[in-house]
Every structure is written in structure tokens, then in C-alpha cells.
Structure 1
Amino acid sequence: MLVAIKNSRLLREVSGTLLVMRETFITILPLYMLMSLLDLASTLIPDSGSQHSIYGVVQLISFPVKRALPFAVATLLGYKLARHRRIDPLVGALISGVSFAVVVAPMAAASDSTVASVLPSVYSILLPLLSIFLLVMIRRCRFLQINGKEVSHLLATSINSILPAVCIVLINGLLWHWLSSLLISSISSPGDYLTHLPVLVQGSIRVVAVHVLWFLGIHGNYVYTSLMYGNDLNQIVIHQFTLGSLLNTFVLFGGAGGTLSMMVAIFLRRHTMRQSVVAKISLPLQLFNLNDILIFGYPIVFNPYLLVPFIGFPLVGFWLAYTVAALDLIPLVENVHWIVPFGINAWHAGGGSLLTIGFQLLMLIIGAGMYYPFLALESGDSIRQKLKKVFATDELPDAQLEVTEEGYFHRQQQVMQSHAQAMEAFKLLAAGKLELWYQPQIDVRSMQLYGFEALLRLRMPDGKIIGPWFIEKLENAGYSNALNNWVINQALEDLHQWKAQGFEPRISLNLTADFLSSEEKVKALLARIDTSLFHLNLEMLESSFTDQFSDLVRNVSMLRDNGVTLAIDDFGTGYSNLALLHKLGIDSVKLDRSLVADSATPRGELLYRELCGLLKAFDYRLVAEGVETKEQLDFVSTCGIDIVQGWYFAAALPPAEAMHYAPPAQTDAETKTNIDATST
């Protein structure tokens, strides 16, 4: 048991760290894009040999940007890791940034080794991880720390960070100096070990290494090419056609990972709004094979769902393209540069041959086919398809969670939590059958049936009936529209069946505020119902008022103009904002059952009476929920309540029983007492 708990904690910690690292690379995306655009500009602009030319200016800017990128990654990652571990993030950023500047940067600048030139990119990730880990360990010792009560909190934080900062910088200096010396002395020229291998093996090693680096957030092409001096890309595959041209034309279209294929799969799947927007933004740059936005903004970095296709397609694609080229099955007459757009590069490579262009299109389709199932897995397509069967509707939008101040990590936690809750609810839904039951509502003055409130129930295979605790979990995961649509469809079906048997009751349906805020959905609802045939009342929670309040007011007015009445449900559990209630223009107010339960106390009784009096002054029809005893019925009758609902009369009933329901008979004296009390 203890081992399982430790493993669970370790898994959560690793998962949290990966999410923080993804957030870091999303934040640093502008700097990555700047570096890629500068590389593109230096390729497109001819070198005139003058430092004052446009080419010279581009080169002048490129050098400090490339040098600053690892430092920026180290500092920002230290900041976000510290915040994740509930440490002052500025202290984490300062320690990581200073360690990198003092230890790594001078070491790389002082050495001419190829390994030393790429170590900053690797250390920019490893160093903050170690620094924050050491900071947590040192702080647990509480050695020579002062209490924040003795001095200001800011001063205490700064003083308590001095010793850990000094220790961590020293440890980093010794460790990285030893590690760098070992690497530099033992690996002077990695390219020398690989140039003697077959081209197929060289290409396979490059593809895997580059894409693993990209997946870890490291500029794979830059690091690997620096280590290999770019010689492997100049290896001849067939005739004069090089390995670099083969990869750029038939494998890496759109950038690393062949992500142009991924974009095709995204649009074919009609992916979520957020992912489609990222893909569309990335498209113009992907025409020149720059996909930094997709890698860091989608993101692909540290995304376990896309690890297999991001590495697998380039590798499989390279093997297939190499085989076709080596067998001379397609014309390959001219080498192409990496920036030449998709389609044009195939046209140049094959000398205008349709066979070469067709093979490139085939590779694009193969790549899309490899990405497609993993995109489906990532977006939770399985639960969506199964929920479609449960609710019999296509309207199942993905949850759109706003980015909070906690950033990507916090948002991703919310997504995972809501998905887990939705899965829990779905397992229950898949095992049973959704039904709509109806709880009677009684007119206090006549003690006759006024109508019914429709309530969701779940019938299990053993006949057990389960209440709708799963509704909130599905709404949090973004499936409220599916619930609304199912309720409307089932209620209309029941109403038609009742009407055919001469039963025409008034029905109250609970709908979410986001549904009522949508003009499109409200108009669609009105188009489906005939208020001359059905008496329909819609209810919404008082606590569910949305930011689109003006839209809600307009749509409520539209519904009332078409004969649909509206009520506020569970009044008294939210802010009880009478000003908003007045602006909304609703007809009825349902007082929450908790208010009836509290009326047994003097303060609760006074609150209930005064609240009813205030609402009646605004001419609202009042409905009391949760009436379970004769004493409660008598009490709410004296408070001006018009309609009562609760177990005193009946619990929710299945449609067949609801059609034959009649309120329990009362004596004439009881009826007269209730009427007189209400009048009073």
C-alpha cells in the first residue's frame, strides 16, 4: 500500500513537472519563432558581403538571439518550476539564470568543441530541474533561516534565499564543470563515428535523434547539425540526390515531424476550436517548413499522445522514401532547399515529373493516416462517440476552459480532472438507461395538480433508480448542451404521447443559462414546440447567471413573447440578486428546499416570510420546493406561496404513473383553512 502511494505521488510529480516544462516552451515560443524567422531570412536574402547590408543586419541579430535563447529557457523554467513547488518564483528564476550565466555560458564560450557549443541547449533544461530540486531540499533543512514575523516577509524571503543560492550555484559549477569536461574530452567529433555507416542508418539515427530533441523542447535540427557539422545531410542517396533533399521533400514537409500531415488530420477530424486555430495560425509558416508554433503552441512538446506519430512517421517515412529512391522508382534530378514549399519542392526534385509529385502526396496521406488515430485519442474522441450514443445527439462540444493566472499547468489540471469525472459519469450512463421522471406541483389554493417538473433519472439493469448526481460532472466537462437537448427531446416525446391519450399537463424543464444565452438554440427550441398545444415552463438556476446577461435578457423576452414562461430555480442558494431578477423579466421564483428546512428555527421562519413578502411585492409566482410534512405545507401556505412541490405529495414519477397522479384528497375544512391562510 505504501509503495503504491509513493508511486502515485511520484507519477503526479513527474506529470506536474512535464506540464510545467510544456508551459515554459509555450511562453518562450516568440523567441523560438524569432530565431526560425531569422534563419529563414538569412537563407532567402543574398549575401552581399557587406556588414551594413540587410543580410549583415540579420546575421548581427541572429547571433545574440541564439546565444540568449538557452539563458531565457533556463531562467523561465526556473521561475515556473519554483512556482509549481510553491517557492518564490523570482528566487527560482534568479538562481537558475545566475547558475546558467556563471557556469554554463562561459564554459561554452571558452571551448571550440562542437559538443561545448550545444551543451547550453541541453543544460538550459537540466540545470533548472536540478536547481529547484536542490532549493527544495535545502529549504527543508531550515538551516539559518529567519522567521517572517521578525522582519518583513520580502526581507525574510531574500535573506533565507542567500545561503541556498550560494550553495546551488557552487554545486552547479562543480557538477557541470566535471560533466562538461568529461563530454568534451571523450566526444570531440560525433560525426566521425557515423560517417562510415550506411546512409540508411545515418538517416535513421538523425531522424530519431532530431525528433526526440524536439519532443523535449530542444531545437533538434540546430543541436544535431552542430554535432554532425551537417555532413550527414550531404550524403548521396541516388545519382546526385542528397539525404537532406530526400528528407525535406518526402518526409519533413511542413517542418519536423512531417506536421503538414498532422494539419491535414486535424482538419479532417474537425478538431477542437483551440487546436484548429493553432493549426491555422501555423499554416503560413509551415508553407516554408517552419512549425515552431505547432510544436510549442499546440503543443507537441511533452505531449505523450503525439510522441509515436511525431517520431514514428518521419522514421517510417524515411525508410519508405529511401527505398523508393534507391530503387529508382521515381525521377530525382535536382536537390532542393529546406525552405522550398510543399509541392514546389517535389516539382523541382523530379524535374516536373507527376510521378514524383504523386509520391509526395502519397507520403502526405500516409502521414495523415498515422496522426489521425493519435489525435482522436488525445481529444478524448472515444468518450464523445459513446456519449453520442447515450444522448442521441451530435452536439457534444469539447470543454473550453479559460487560461487562468496559473497558466497552462493549472488549465491542464482542470482538463484532466473534468475528463476523469466525465469518464466516471459515463461509465454509469453506459451501464443504465436515462429516463425523464416527473414530480407533481400542486396549486396551494385549489389543492389540484398544477403541473410537473421534469427530472433526470438513471435506471440500472437491476431496476435501481439513481438520481442525477452525474449532471454536474458532465456539465463541467463541456456536455451541458447534450444534456439540454436530451431533456428537450424526451420531454416533447412524453408530451406527444400524453396528448394522444388526452393528458395535457404543464411541464417545467431545467436548462442551463448558457443554453438560454444562445439565440440560435432558443430559436431552434421555439421552432420545435407549439405553445398552443403544450404548456411549457423553463427553469434556470439562480447561480448560473452568465457574463452574457444581456443576451439572456433578450432571449428570455423572446421566449415569453412566444408563450413560454420562465422560472428561477433554487432561489436562495446563490447571490439572490433581485436587481438582476427584475431585469431578467422572469415569471416565477422557486425557493430552495433548504429554506423550507431552515424555517423550523425562528430566524429561518422570519427569513422565509420576509423573502416571500418581498418577492410577492414584485408580483412573482412563488413555488416552494422540498415540502415534506403537513406542518411545512401549512407554513408555506401562510407565506403567500402559490405552488408547492415535495415528497409530502409525491416524489418524481415515471411518465406512466405521472399521467394518473392525483393529489391526496383533503377535507373541506382543510381546504378552506389553506385558502384563508393564503388570502391572509
Structure 2
Amino acid sequence: MYKKSILKAYYNNYIRDISIVFLLLLPLIICNAITLFVGHGLNLIKFNDLANSLFYLSNLLIGIYPIALCLITSYYIATKHGVNAMVVVPYSLVLFIAVSVPNELVSVHSGLPNNPLIALLAALISAMCCTSFRLFPLDPSRIDFVKTLYKHVLHFVCFLLLTVILVRLTTLVIDISKETQHYLSLNPLTFYGGLAYQFILGLLGAIGINGHNFLFRAKQQLFEDTQQNIAAWQAGEAPLNVLGQGFYDAFLSMGGSGNTISLLLCVLLFSKERRHITLAFSALPLVMFNINELLLFGLPVIFNPTLIIPFVLVPLVSFVVVYSAITLGFVNPVSTIVDWMTPPFISGYIATQHSLSGVILQIVVVMIGIVVYRPFYLHYAGRSQSNNIAISHQYELSRSTLKSFLGDVNQAMRSYISKHDISRRVSRMLSCGEFMMHYQPQINLNNDQHLSFEALLRYKDPGGKLLPPLFIQDFQQLGAMKQLDKMVIDLVLTDMQKMPLESGCKVAINISAETISDKHIVAYLVERLSFFNILPEALEIEITEEVIIVDDKVVSENIAVLQALGITVAIDDFGSGYASFPHLLKFNFDKVKLDRSLLFNIENEREKNLYQLLAKISEVTGCVLVAEGVETEIEKQFVQQCGIDIVQGFYFSKPMTLNNALSWMKTVAIGNKTIVE
């Protein structure tokens, strides 16, 4: 039962995804059908030049359809699986063209790849490759651009090798199919040969392959033999064959391949799905002229295991019924090759020597088709009634996503331009001006001999103006936080050489998510501590709450190694909206810094109770607590009443330069507010 439910879920998602992709291409399909229809109409009234122009546009639309299918499918799959479509789309296009061109799977009119099945497979394979080995779009402004570029090149080279294999495999499959055609020796002019011919046409059409192109030689021979037989019959030299081109066109393609006029009427008569009914009414004018793409791709029939069965079966049943009726003499043999766009019932009248029996036979065939289609359609519609809602929502989402595709590209380009500006700004900061550390003290209210400092990065421009740390966002956008953190480590360790570390003074450094998740950061810290001759016990690493969500395993290992070395590890900004108590239990922190926002509105009983509750976490975790953002005497007394001994905030001192921090250490007196601007 469990496996059955899994298979059912896969099936539902499969049909939904296929239908969404084809729905996105419906405007192109409808435009092609209308263009073709109008072109034939213009031909009838002798506007041949204008008709040829429309036929050219129709061929163009047919030519670009497989490429559009490939691009949209790859974009849809990439978006669904969280892979950047800007990476997947070029891969799928390369694979589609590489497989199609050498194997001559191209349009005669445009020279463009024209096989929808290859288009779908190319999109699927490309998405799988990019999902299995995720790549991000190249960003020249990133400091690790060269490294990322080499990854892209290596990945693409491997993909090209796979492409070569797939090209050879496709060639092999085509050769085998040609051999199969050679030995198959289909003869549509015989009963069993006609059944096999119709079965293969339906099966290929159900997976998006033009069966007439695949069986071109058989179709061409059928057309020529039919013309010769009609000419001989008209000359009185031979009887009319039961089977011929007109037989297949008039009775087995009513409403389009699969006798889909029966499916359309089945939907109108029995469906309770509003979307299906609307689709059927929209398709009705086209189906009456044997253009059925709207139904095939709208329901969809193509690639739908449920509807493929009647789609293939109805023409076979129709074949037997019509063949029997003509053979038994109930209906006149087909005496002409009717234009394929001739509406049903009219085509039956013309084809059977202007006989109403041909029309009646067509009505019977349509009714039989409705009977065959009905259980399969109702099963599909009933099973997907709830899914159709999801399809509608997903389609709208996908349509809006697709609609914004060029917008995404433009936005990406604007982002690259913006990052280029950021890169230039960061480069100027690195080459001009000065990065420097400021230090804000952490005071032990019960022991003024135990001082610690939090190191905070500042930048002084060439004019001597001190800038706040907003520039850190520039480094984040460039993906250069590890480089910035390493620079900060060197600046802090340089300053620590001038501090009285022997008295137990510690200095805390904030580490970014990118850095603490790097498995090499501990080795780097050990090397720099040795270089500056600083004991690990004098250093403290502060990790912001959101960092520990990045990579639990690496972060946990790094914390454990740092603590083993004697480096204190603190969680910063606790309570700011990211961390939770499970994180404190999962990671063995030495210190917890309560965020400044928790002190807001402590005059309210609720906020006061919350802070008092958080102050008790040290009893559970064994962590030392630090109250950040203490700015008033009332706040100082409150946190002290909560049992918190270590405080930090403007009430004691703003962040200050190294020289001011050294002077402050000599003059500070607990209980006297000393502020250094």
C-alpha cells in the first residue's frame, strides 16, 4: 500500500508537471493552428501569396516549438528544484542541439531541432546534472570568481563528455529504428498492416513524435498507391481499394489524430471539471477542422498514461468498424483523398462518393469513440479533480515565473552591475583609508579586575572620517566575509600584543557564518596565534545565532576544537530572532550574550518576566551570561537583580580606539559612569 501511494504521488506530480509545461506553450500551439487554418482558407479563395506567407509563419512556429519546450522545461524543473535556471538553460540548449543536428533531427524548413521528445529529455538530463552537482551563476565581482570559474569549466567539460556519449547513443537508437522499419515492412493497404500502421502512429503521437515523419516512406507509398488506385478505378481498370489515404484521413483522424472529436464530445457531455469544459469549448472551432493540439496539450493527452490508452485504442477500433462496414457493402469505398482540414461529417460525405452512409458511419465511429474514451477520461478527471486545483495554482505560479524570466535576467544583470560597483568600492577601501578596530568593554559588576573587550571593526576614509560598519554588507554581497574576518583577526591580534593580557583580559572577535563553517578556520587561528605569540586563553570567538543553522556538523566540530585549545566560544545576539533553547543544548557554548532588544520595554511586566526567565538559562546550560546594550542605571540594576554579573553597553562605554581602551582600563571605576566619545 505504501509503495502504491508513492507511485501514485509520482504519477500525479508527473502529469501535473507535464501539463504545466505544455500549458505554458499553448499560446504558441494555438497561434500555429490558427495560422495554418487561415492559410488554407486563403488558398481556397486564391490568395496564394498571402497563404504562403502564413504557411511560412506556421513552419516557423513549428520550428521553434521544440526549442521553446526545451528551454521552458529546463527553466521549470530548475526553479522547482531550487537550482538557478541561468545555469541549467544553456546546458539543456547545448545538449538538445548537439544531439539533434548530427542525427538530422531538424526541420526541413528552418534547420532547427524539431523533436519534442529529445527536447524534453535534454531538459531533464541537464537539470539532473545541475541538481546533482549544484553550480551558482558566475559573478565577476566575487573574490573567489576564478575558483568558481574553474569549477564551471570542469563541470561543463564533464557535461560535454556526457553529451558526446548521448549523441552516439541517439545515433545507435536511430540506426536500430531504421533497421526495425526495414524489417517491419508496414503495408497500410492490408488489414493487419493497417492496424500496425495506425497503432504506431498513435503511439508515437502520444509521446510527442510526429508519426508521419517517422513512417515517412510508408506514408509516401500509401499516398502514391492510393492515387494510382483511384486513377485506375476512374478509368474502369480496377475496383476501389477499401484501404487508402482517404480511408485514414476521413475516418481515423476526425478532430485530429486519435479521433479526438470523440474525446472533446466526451468532455462536454460528462465532465464536471470547469477547466476541462472551458478547454473543450475553446478547442471546438479548431477540432472541427481536425486541429487538436489544444486538447492534446491542454488536458494533456500527450505523456498522460491514462489518456494514451484510448488515444491509441479508438483509431484501432474505428479502423475495424469502418473496414467492416465498407467490406460488407454498407458504405461506399473511399473514392478521393479529402483535404485533411475538411470538417468531420462533410469529409465522410465527400469521401464516400457523396453518400450519406459515409456521414452515418462517421457518426457511429464518433459515438463508439465516446464510449471508449469515457471511462478513461472519467478516471483521469476524477483522480485529478483535486490535483487540477493544484495544477491551476501551479500554472499561475509558473506562468508568472515565466513571465518574469526576462525580468529575472535584467535583475540579475542589474545585480551584477551593482556588485561591480560594490567591488570597486571595496577595492578603494582596501587601497585607500584604513581599517581599524574599536573595543567596547564587558564589565564584571562583582569584580572590576576582570575585563573583557568586544572587538568591533571600523573604517577611516582618506579624509579621516570614521564610517560605521555598514560596509560589512558590501563584503557579504561579494562573498568575501572569510577574507574580511581574516583581516580582522590579524588587526585584533596585533592590538592584543599591547594589552595587559597577563591580568586575565580577553578580547572577543565576531566571526561570520561563512568563516565559522569553514573547516580550515581553526588551523588558521592556531597559526596566527602562534605568529603573534598570543595565548589561546586570551581570545574569545563570538558566533551570531543564525550562524549555527548553516552547517551543524562543521560548526559543532569547530566549536569543540576551539574550546579544546582554550578559546572561549560565545553565542552572540541571543534572543534577536534566530536561536532557540535547543541550540543551546545542542552546542556547548561557554558564554551567552543576551541581545539588546530584550531590554526594550522592561518597564512592562511581560518583558521583565521574559528577561528574568532567560537569565536562568545559565543554570541549565552552565554558560556565563552577558547583558548587552545596557544604557541606563535602571537597566544596569535590573540585569544585576536578574543575577547577571557581566554587562556591556553605552552606560559604561561606547566602542573606542585601542589607545582610549588602554587609558580607560586604567581609570575605570565600577559604579562611576565613564564614557569615552
TM-score (normalised: structure 2): 0.49
Flag the structure with larger Rg.
2
